Chain A
């Protein structure tokens, strides 16, 4: 089946530093990937839509300068949390839509970010 690899699975960083999270589709191409944030016991909140070769589309209320998204190839999207603060601590998950269509969306295993 389709596999999306997300790294790192967890990261602890100091306040003010930046953290990069990678999302890679291993056995399919994905022009479109999505980045979510999930708080405990809540559903996923869409942050942005990442499109290969073009700028990401951010949801209302999400700071594009803080959450930098790069989708440099059909199999890789990255999310960089810049100047992280404790309130950015959360579970971040990516998903990828198979370009072949009609395959559903595959999610990564998530990244738990803790900013201290």
Chain B
């Protein structure tokens, strides 16, 4: 079993729809949770950063962390074609020297 599980998709939605992404994990020591967007042949871009459990909103993006269920989510409202990319969840802990553990990435296409 992988430490971080993420459905690779692909996920295709019409413009304006809500994109829902999620990851599950097995290591209860994880404290820091991130979502990245990666376009082809580019480095990942940090979208959301959350420490411990809770919700965080930034513009069209909402991140949720449920440590009791070991489950994190990212919601993208009013999706745009420019949101078409691969989305990676990542997490880390002090006990693992802050190394990031990544999900496999979900490829999202927003259709105009």
Partner of A43, one of B45, B51, B105: B105
In the complex, A46→B101 CA distance in Å? Answer: 9
Q: Which of A71-116 contact B (CB under 8 A)?
A: 91, 93, 95, 97, 102-110, 112
Contact partners of A2 in chain B: CB under 8 A: 46
Using an 8 Å CB-CB cutoff, how does the interface string of A18-48 with B read, 1 for contact, 0 for none? 0000000000000010100000000110100
Please determine whether A43 and B88 come into contact, CB atoms closer than 8 angstroms.
Answer: yes
User: A105 is contacted by which of B34, B97, B103 (Cβ under 8 Å)?
Assistant: B34
| A residues adjacent to B (C-beta < 8 A) | 2, 4, 6, 32, 34, 43-44, 46, 49, 57, 91, 93, 95, 97, 102-110, 112
Given A93-B44, A105-B92: 20 more A-B contacts, CB < 8 Å: A4-B43, A6-B43, A34-B99, A34-B100, A43-B103, A43-B105, A44-B44, A44-B88, A44-B102, A46-B99, A46-B100, A49-B97, A57-B97, A95-B43, A95-B44, A102-B32, A104-B46, A105-B34, A106-B46, A109-B42
